[in-house]
Structure 1
Amino acid sequence: MELYQLQSFVTVARENHLTRAADFLHISQPAVSAHIKALEEEFGQPLFIRTPKGMELTPGGVLLCGKAEKILEQIEELTLFAEDLQETPVGKIRIGLNRDSDFLRIPALYQHLRSSYPGLEIGLHHAVSGTIVKMIEKNELDCGFVLGKYAGDEIRVMVLTELNLRVVGPVGMRKEISAACQSDLVELPWIGNPPDCPYSGIMETFFYKHGLTPRTEVVADQQSAIISMIEAGAGLNFMLEEEAIIAEKEGKLVLWSGRGFPIDLSFVYRGNSRKSLRIQAITESVSTVWHDVDLLGE
């Protein structure tokens, strides 16, 4: 039995799906399947039942998964203890990304970590901001980049910069968008956002608090999907001002001339992990790459 097999076991149980587990672990689906098969042979019983909805734990699998999770938690504690003894960070740091790597300065962050903390291994996982926060709270990620404001005992926040969101829409709606006031925009089709997406909070401020309900015909969470749907003529949504100005000049969309919406880009991590040398290393590195930052919740 190997630790990576237990990690695959726990991840499949959490994701209820082989492909999603493989994507999260950054390994192939056949490799994950092989790990599960090896454990089933060693344990002498099936761990999962295949269903139309995905992978479900067997009764025995539920009990064994609980034990496996505890073992992995103990390994994590052992690694942290070893860090304290060495006074140097070692092991894997799992980072959630809500935007593309270049925008978040990940290449520069990687170079800084490699030169200053060569014992760290970096794992990157793309998700929307709200999902990243939830994964950090559940110890599925160590830290991550998010848009919007997050507060609470479990999450520490390091504000990196303030960005500005603007309303954008399809080129085919140029006439309607150019002449629209806020109440007019609600009559146009919109691309909806799930609750975990910070844009949903902007939508709340922009429309719902004024008694307005936009007409949404499609829902998207990733920025790339939102932009593609706007270009396809599906509806309006929000976009970072700098990117929106460039996209409008390229003839990809129309920028509404009305107000923008300030939104924080922050780096977040679990509050109870502050003493981890890995967290100290990553926060120091992010601070260096992004220069002046504000630490909230002290």
Structure 2
Amino acid sequence: MELRQLEYFQMASRLRNITRAAERLRVSQPNITVAIKKLEAELGIQLFDRSQKQLALTPEGAVFLNRVELALRNIQDAVLEVNDYKQLQKGTIKIGVPPMMGAYLFPRIFSSFQRRYSHLDIFMHEEASMSIREQLERDELDFGIIILSGASNRLQLLPMSKNQIVCCVPESSPLAKKKAITMDDVADTKIVMLKEGSFLRQTILGRMKAEGITPNIVLESNQINTLKGLVSNGVGITFLLDMVADETPGLKTLPLADPIFVDVGLAWKKDRYISKAAQSFIDFCKDLLKKDHSNKADAASPAQE
């Protein structure tokens, strides 16, 4: 039994598709097919039920996957720990960032961290917040900057900022005269929205569904500037976090009449070994938060004579 066979089996199980697993692992499809067949022959069991359209684990395969997941995670952690003992001067951090945070929150964190830890490499993966949560739980990322609401208890969370979901409307729209927006106000309005997998999209659509409103979504994009540009040009309205929507020409931001507040922060898997590189990133983010709180406290204090 080879480590490669276990990795191929794990990915095929996760994606339920040999072709997609091959693409993710950057190997040929026959390589994965042959490896899994050899694994089944060695174990003397069938791991997948191939009678269905979508690849499905047999009961024996599901039991085996649980053990394989744990074994591969332990191997990954062992490699990280050995590298730390070797006191390498080089380290890597894989972090998932949603488009909204990628454009407005992450650059500040990244630039400051890189100046302090120039010997560490950060690889940023831009994904929707819900997708990042799933990748963290599958040990595919070290960290994610996500909306923390509803996150799994298997994730360690470090809140970094509290934000409000706002409605963005064209300045020329009659809605721009309102002080706050209800879902009824936008029931018949064209909406441009973040794509599937976005926590913000899921939240707004959930609110609309609860109020019996069917949204009129005319365009979808994960590019925040594209959404704001579409709103500014009168294509429709959108919903964003206040930190990214403020001070945009041609666009008016309005709070929701029934406000929705969300915490944005850093998340990582609880039961994983934390490498020195990863720990340095956690410590850096904590220091950054302390400085921000200190600066806000100083700004709020009356000037001393």
| Corresponding residue number in structure 2 for 1:36 | 32
CA contact (8 A) 2:165 2:240 kept: yes
Distance (Å, rounded) in 1 between the aligned partners of 2:156 and 2:40: 43
Q: Which of 175, 178, 199 is the equivalent residue of 1:177? A: 175
Distance (Å, rounded) in 2 between the aligned partners of 1:282 and 1:197: 24
Deviation at 1:144, TM superposition (A): 0.6
| Corresponding residue number in structure 1 for 2:238 | 237
CA contact (8 A) 1:150 1:157 kept: no
Secondary structure of the corresponding residue to residue 144 of structure 1: strand
- Of stretches 220-229 and 155-164 in structure 1, the one that deviates more from structure 2 is 220-229
Give the AA of the match of 1:43.
L
Deviation at 1:163, TM superposition (A): 4.1
CA contact (8 A) 1:16 1:54 kept: yes
Matches within 5 A, 1:4-23: 4=4, 6-18=6-18, 20-21=20-21
- Of stretches 262-271 and 212-221 in structure 1, the one that deviates more from structure 2 is 212-221
The reply on whether 1:255 has 2:252 as its aligned counterpart is: yes
Secondary structure of the corresponding residue to residue 283 of structure 2: helix
Deviation at 1:77, TM superposition (A): 3.7
Q: Which runs of 5+ in 1 are unaligned?
A: none
Matches within 5 A, 1:107-118: 108=111, 111=114, 115-117=118-120
Distance (Å, rounded) in 2 between the aligned partners of 1:50 and 1:92: 38
| RMSD (Å), alpha carbons | 4.7
Matches within 5 A, 1:97-112: 97-99=97-99, 101-103=102-104, 104-105=106-107, 108=111, 111=114
Change beyond 3 A, Cα 1:140–1:109: farther
Change beyond 3 A, Cα 1:7–1:113: farther
Distance (Å, rounded) in 2 between the aligned partners of 1:113 and 1:9: 40
CA contact (8 A) 1:98 1:128 kept: yes
Deviation at 1:269, TM superposition (A): 1.4
| CA shift digits 1:117-152 (9 cap, x unpaired) | 4xxx75543332234234434444332101244577
The reply on whether 1:188 has 2:188 as its aligned counterpart is: yes
Deviation at 1:266, TM superposition (A): 0.8
| CA shift digits 1:213-271 (9 cap, x unpaired) | 4431349986338955993977533124454356544xxxx424456865433111133
Distance (Å, rounded) in 2 between the aligned partners of 1:141 and 1:273: 11
Give the AA of the match of 2:173.
K
Matches within 5 A, 1:36-185: 36-40=32-36, 42-43=38-39, 54-57=54-57, 62=62, 65-66=65-66, 68-83=68-83, 85-86=85-86, 93-99=93-99, 101-103=102-104, 104-105=106-107, 108=111, 111=114, 115-117=118-120, 123-149=123-149, 153-169=153-169, 171=170, 174-180=172-178, 182-183=181-182, 184-185=184-185
Deviation at 1:282, TM superposition (A): 2.7
| CA shift digits 1:79-137 (9 cap, x unpaired) | 244256446698764422212645312753784586344xxx75543332234234434
- Could you say which structure has the larger radius of gyration? 2
Change beyond 3 A, Cα 1:125–1:256: closer
| Corresponding residue number in structure 2 for 1:265 | 264
Distance (Å, rounded) in 2 between the aligned partners of 1:79 and 1:277: 12
Using the size of structure 2 for normalisation, the TM-score is 0.64
Secondary structure of the corresponding residue to residue 173 of structure 2: helix
The reply on whether 1:197 has 2:194 as its aligned counterpart is: no
| CA shift digits 1:34-66 (9 cap, x unpaired) | 540341464375866778864434677556645
Change beyond 3 A, Cα 1:74–1:167: same
Q: Which runs of 5+ in 2 are unaligned?
A: 294-305
Aligned residues: 278
Distance (Å, rounded) in 2 between the aligned partners of 1:267 and 1:282: 10
| Corresponding residue number in structure 1 for 2:300 | none
Give the AA of the match of 1:17.
N
Distance (Å, rounded) in 2 between the aligned partners of 1:112 and 1:3: 37
Change beyond 3 A, Cα 1:241–1:59: closer
| Corresponding residue number in structure 2 for 1:283 | 282
